[in-house]
Structure formats: C-alpha cells, structure tokens
Amino acid sequence: MSAATTLLVAALVAQGPPDSTGAMLYRAWCAACHGHDGRGDAARQTHLSVRPANLAECKSSTAETDDAWIGIVRDGGAAYGLSLDMPAFRDGASPEQLRAVVRYIRSLCGERGWPPGELNFPRPVLAEKAYPENEAVLALRGREQEYIYERRLRRRAQLEASARTVVDSLSRPFDGVTAALKYNVWYSGERRALASLGVEATPPLGRQDLWELEPFIAFGANPLPALFLQGEVLGAWEATQGVTGFSYSLGAGREVGRFVPMLEVGGTVRRVGKSTVSLVPQMRVQLSRLGHVAGSLGVELPAVGPAPRHPRLTAFLLWDYGDAGLLRGW
Ligand code: HEC
C-alpha cells in the first residue's frame, strides 16, 4: 500500500466513532469513495482510476459472501488483484467493525428474495448447482468436451446454453446442444440450504437423433461450518420413447483454503439397459486471487454398469464473469 493510502486510512479511521453501527462506520470510512448510498457517485471518485463497484446493486452484492467482502475491506483491493485505490482497513478496524460495515453494505440492496452468496457452493462435476449463476465453463469428461454459458435472470432464474463435442474414432466431433432454464424455488439463509427446479431441452442435432427433455431438481446445503452437500435428480424423456430413465447424484465437500476436495456418487437408472453407478473424487482449485476463476480435476470411477468400466478423467475451468473481468482479480 502506498504511503498516501496508509495516511488516508489512518485519517478515516481516526474520524470513525470507536464502536458504532455499520451505517456510521460506512459514512465515516467508505462514503467518500463509494458515495452515501453505496452507488459510487462520490466526489473523491474523480481521482480514482477504477470506478468503485456499485455496492447497492442486488445482483452483485447478494452473490458475494460476507467473508469475501470482509477480506477485501480488511486487506485492501491489491490483495485480491483489484484497484490499489480500495484501501486496507486491517490496521484501523476491529473484526467486529469490519463485519458490521460489510453487513451494512450488503443491506443496501434493500430487496428481499435474492439468495445469499453463502449458498453459492463450489461447482461439482456431476450435479447441477442450485444457485443461479453468471458463469462460463469449459468442461472435459473423458473424450467429451462441453462449453457452457450460464446467465442469471433477476433474483432466482438462470438460463443456460451448452454445446458438446466428442473426440473419438468418428469423424464428426459435434455432439449436440442443450438449453436449460433453472429457477430457485426455495432458499433459507438460516438453514443454509436451497433447492431449484429446472428443465433441459436437447434438440435432434449433432449425434442426438430425437428431442430430449430432462426436468431436474438440484439442491445444496451447508449443515456444518466447512461441509456442504449438493445433489441432483434428473428425469429423461425422449420423443417417441417417452420416459427413458433418470439419473441422480449426491456429493459432499469442504473448503480448505483455496482447495475444495469433493466426492460425488452418481448413477443412472434406465428403463431399457443396465443401470450404472460411479464415484467421482475431485479437487476444485481457486485460481485467481479474487476467486472468480477456478479449475477442477477429478476422475470418474465406474462401480456398477456394463463392462468395460474404464475410469475417465474429469476437469473444468470456470469464470464467474458476474464477479469480474477475466483479466482482473489476479
Ligand atoms: C479511497 C477510496 C475508497 C475508500 C475509502 C473505500 N473504497 Fe472500497 N473500493 C474503492 C475502489 C476504487 C474499488 C474498486 C476496486 C476494483 O474494482 O478494482 C473498491 C471496491 C470495494 C469492494 C469490492 C466490490 C466488488 O464488487 O468486488 C468492496 C466490498 C468495498 N470497496 C468496500 C468498501 C468499504 C466497506 C469501505 C469502507 C470501510 C471502502 N470500500 C472504502 C475505493 C474505496
């Protein structure tokens, strides 16, 4: 941090009442740059090279966790690859004050019905996430590649478009496309759990011969501090064939610093043909300092199903483009 920002923090902290509510701390410490309402139209802004984010915007503030924002306020923008102009308050503010001021800025959204970022659990390999996201993902599973674009619509809905390719002996690698709509039907910040319903539609393109519709339910919960569970049940309906079966998955993981080891169990039950069950141990790694770019590596181990049951590599790279640009936050 430069000498000027150190002095600025010292001056701001000196103005702050020693123990006070988040609103009072905000006015004393933050409003000069972020504006009185958090929207960032403050006088001091003219000197800033990066315009501070609109802290009052529900879309961005609710998708964050308290802890992520406490980190930025405590350690400053530079620690997360953001602008040096966002000062570090660690020397002047107590942990209680940091929490109070972050609680206050997260309350500026003022609308109910936005699921909190605390319920945005790390993306697993098998299950669809229940949380609505703004994300671009490149996923690999054995010889299959999937390119996924997810876009959040308002509070609870999300649209998704994906395309698949397969690299195998066949000459045409294009496998097909899928569109999906997801809606968060229930969440509880107190119980730290959420559930969403959705449907995936796959037209007869690429290697897909018939229309396929797959309704699903996805859920996530955080029953113990560092542990979370995520799962999905998905039904499959095909044109002319009707219901062809369903698939399910359930996984558990915990956060250990930048790493999230997870274990998922998933299976398919088909009306015709053998059922399958696989285990997928996997490791998700936060790549950018801000946490908006992450990767995952794992292996899908078939336990039940038709032979030969070869293990398949799973991997993905994701960019939470709702959080920051691809080149920022490193
Ligand atoms: C000297 C000006 C300045 C002061 C004072 C300041 N900020 Fe910031 N803040 C910024 C700038 C500039 C950014 C944008 C950083 C970026 O995006 O690169 C920012 C970013 C942030 C972010 C990240 C937003 C996001 O979308 O990721 C949070 C949270 C934040 N500030 C909270 C606070 C709080 C709380 C205070 C008071 C305790 C405060 N700031 C004081 C300038 C300031």
Look at residues 72, 107, 142 and tell me which one is the last residue of a structural domain.
107
Average pLDDT over residues 285-304: 96
SS (H, E, C) 292-318: CEEEEEEEEEEEECCCCCCCEEEEEEE
Look at residues 107, 138, 172 and tell me which one is the last residue of a structural domain.
107
Ligand 1 atom 17: residue of nearest CA: 82
Instruction: Please tell me whether residue 98 adopts helix, strand or coil conformation.
Output: helix
The 10s digit of each residue's pLDDT in 174-207 is 999 999 999 999 999 999 999 999 999 999 999 8
Mean pLDDT lowest among 44-48, 72-76, 245-249, 302-306: 44-48
Instruction: Please tell me whether residue 219 adopts helix, strand or coil conformation.
Output: strand
Are 94 and 144 part of one and the same domain?
no
Ligand 1, pocket residues at CB < 6 Å = 8, 29-30, 32-34, 44, 48, 50, 52-53, 60, 69, 72-73, 77, 82-83, 85-87, 89, 101, 105
Buried b (16+ CB within 10 A) or exposed e, 65-86: bbebbbbbbbebbbbbebebbb
Are 88 and 163 part of one and the same domain?
no
Distance CA 186, CA 207 (A): 36
* pLDDT at 18 (0 to 100): 47
Containing domain of residue 255, as a range? 118-319
Ligand 1 atom 9: residue of nearest CA: 86
Q: How many angstroms is it from 154 CA to the middle of ligand 1? A: 24
Are 170 and 262 part of one and the same domain?
yes
Of residues 267, 298, 290, 312, the one with CA closest to residue 123 = 298
In-domain check, residue 266: yes
CATH number at residue 99: 1.10.760.10
* pLDDT at 46 (0 to 100): 63
Q: Which two tokens stand for residue 89?
A: 């308050």
In-domain check, residue 325: no
Q: How many angstroms is it from 174 CA to the middle of ligand 1? A: 45
Are 198 and 122 part of one and the same domain?
yes
The 10s digit of each residue's pLDDT in 89-115 is 998 899 999 999 999 999 998 898 999
Average pLDDT over residues 7-18: 60
In-domain check, residue 327: no
Are 151 and 282 part of one and the same domain?
yes
**Residue 216 clears pLDDT 90, i.e. is over it:** yes
Distance CA 253, CA 263 (A): 6
* pLDDT at 42 (0 to 100): 62
Find all residues with CB under 8 Å of 7, minimum gap 6, and list them: none
Which of 20, 66, 86 for mutating ligand 1's site (highest number of atoms within 8 Å of CB)? 86
**Residue 15 clears pLDDT 70, i.e. is over it:** no
Mean pLDDT lowest among 99-103, 186-190, 223-227, 299-303: 223-227
Query: Which tops the pLDDT comparison, 72 or 308?
Result: 72
Are 124 and 164 part of one and the same domain?
yes
Distance CA 61, CA 1 (A): 25
Q: Which atom of ligand 1 is nearest to the CA of 30?
A: 37
Cα dihedral 22→24→28→32 (10° resolution): 80
* pLDDT at 40 (0 to 100): 77
* pLDDT at 171 (0 to 100): 78
Are 48 and 190 part of one and the same domain?
no
Are 186 and 100 part of one and the same domain?
no
The 10s digit of each residue's pLDDT in 19-55 is 458 999 999 999 988 988 888 776 556 677 788 888 9
Ligand 1 atom 29: residue of nearest CA: 69
* pLDDT at 43 (0 to 100): 55
Look at residues 107, 131, 148 and tell me which one is the last residue of a structural domain.
107
The tally of domains found in the chain comes to 2
Q: Which two tokens stand for residue 84?
A: 């040096």
Instruction: Please tell me whether residue 24 adopts helix, strand or coil conformation.
Output: helix
Place of tokens 């169990």: 265
Query: Which tops the pLDDT comparison, 74 or 37?
Result: 74
Average pLDDT over residues 109-137: 95
Q: Which atom of ligand 1 is nearest to the CA of 104?
A: 35
**Residue 225 clears pLDDT 70, i.e. is over it:** yes
* pLDDT at 196 (0 to 100): 98
E-strand ranges in the chain read: 135-141, 144-153, 157-166, 174-188, 193-202, 212-224, 227-238, 242-254, 259-270, 276-286, 293-304, 312-319
Find all residues with CB under 8 Å of 102, minimum gap 6, and list them: 22, 66, 69, 70, 73
